[in-house]
Structure 1
């Protein structure tokens, strides 16, 4: 099985308007790390001060160490292999940013076709069935008593994500049931546009570990 743990750092929270400034991809084939990609991405604007403060990434780092956005997009295309499993925390967010980056350089219909042939897994959706609020990656790391992580840097978040998924599997082996399923807060709805290859489902607040019969994949109806 091919699993890709991925994360993005961005200039803001609005896909299509804001931009990816760091992209990390950890590729595992049958449990073995076969590729590690971590690059800053150049942009044609100054970074918001709050993003610099949050991530530690500066305009100078992007200029001196970053790759062209087109090159990052091309890299993503090479990693988008059919039936591979792509894992992120709040995957809808990262997927939207990747989609908007790709369609700047490639045919949109081809992009959607490639994205639809990949399996998508959202650890945020899984974690909401395991523990009470809050559900950020930081909270999941703390919940499973993992080592400290330098959060808000893409490669470190991707590495932490792999360790968290391992703990989620140990806790209860129901991960496969969440493939291509994204839960969303009923108060706010789905972030951005919906992808046809994803099932979106309301995921109300629950304070603790849900019984297996009550996990989201067991209780939803397609919307």
Structure 2
């Protein structure tokens, strides 16, 4: 059983955009769990690769990840990277694929023809469940809110990682530390199940009632919530509306 932590950088967020950088850390799960308390991780596999794409990076993406077309010119396509080969070799429901907001990364992988058989753990959704009192659940917000930054220098040294802002490998390191924090209250399979569990949305984030609690909208204009039930495909929103209308 393996844990594969990964993150991607892309040319943008539109349907035609593609992966241009990937980073991952892979561990044997049994070894990983047993050595966490000792705070040493020796047996691991690391991938950190740039890859070219027929879609050029947008200015907006370069502003965030600082990856330019010139940096990609002589690189392999994503499907030829060592990461992708390893991802395919381990593609089994015995293994866990872990990312923050994993739906985005899986969407990008599917554009390359990859269909995951892994158990998928989304640390963003898990954080929404486990740390409900936090104002936000972005990876970098959690880095500071949970004081993961106090652990990253030692972990980076052990794993021979350079910490850089807006870099896929730097994010994978924080992802791993976040996962470790979650393992204090849930095991990996429980986190996998939690990743699929609907999240209660307390207030609307859009539309004419943006900022209002769903319970207040139910009293003010129930017909609007009925309309959303028929027209939205947001699983969390639908779950939340049904809950307040019970």
Q: TM-score, normalised by structure 2?
A: 0.64
Aligned equivalent of 1:98 = 109
- In the alignment, is residue 59 of structure 1 matched against residue 69 of structure 2? yes
Shift of the alpha carbon at 1:53? 1.5
Q: How big is each residue's C-alpha offset from its partner over 1:61-92, in whole Å with a ceiling of 9 and x where there is no partner?
A: 1114x222230344431232441011100011
Q: Highest relative contact order (Cα 8 Å, sep 6+), 1 or 2? A: 1
Q: Which has the higher helix share?
A: 2
Change (3 A) 1:82 1:48: same
2:100 aligned residue (89, 94, 99): 89
Which structure has the larger Rg over C-alpha atoms? 2
Q: TM-score, normalised by structure 1?
A: 0.70
Aligned equivalent of 2:192 = 179
Q: How big is each residue's C-alpha offset from its partner over 1:25-83, in whole Å with a ceiling of 9 and x where there is no partner?
A: 2110131543111111101243211211211211111114x222230344431232441
Change (3 A) 1:165 1:182: same
Aligned equivalent of 1:69 = 78
Give me the whole-angstrom Cα distance separating, in 2, the residues matched to 1:175 and 1:76: 19
Alpha-carbon contact 1:4-1:85 (below 8 Å) kept = yes
Count of matched residue positions in the alignment of Structure 1 and Structure 2: 182
Alpha-carbon contact 2:98-2:120 (below 8 Å) kept = yes
Moved more, 123-132 or 175-184: 175-184
List runs of 5+ in structure 2 lacking aligned partners: 33-40, 153-162, 207-227
**Partner SS for 1:35:** strand
List runs of 5+ in structure 1 lacking aligned partners: 104-110, 195-199, 205-219
Aligned equivalent of 1:118 = 118
Moved more, 136-145 or 77-86: 77-86
2:178 aligned residue (124, 139, 164): 164
Give me the whole-angstrom Cα distance separating, in 1, the residues matched to 2:122 and 2:49: 22
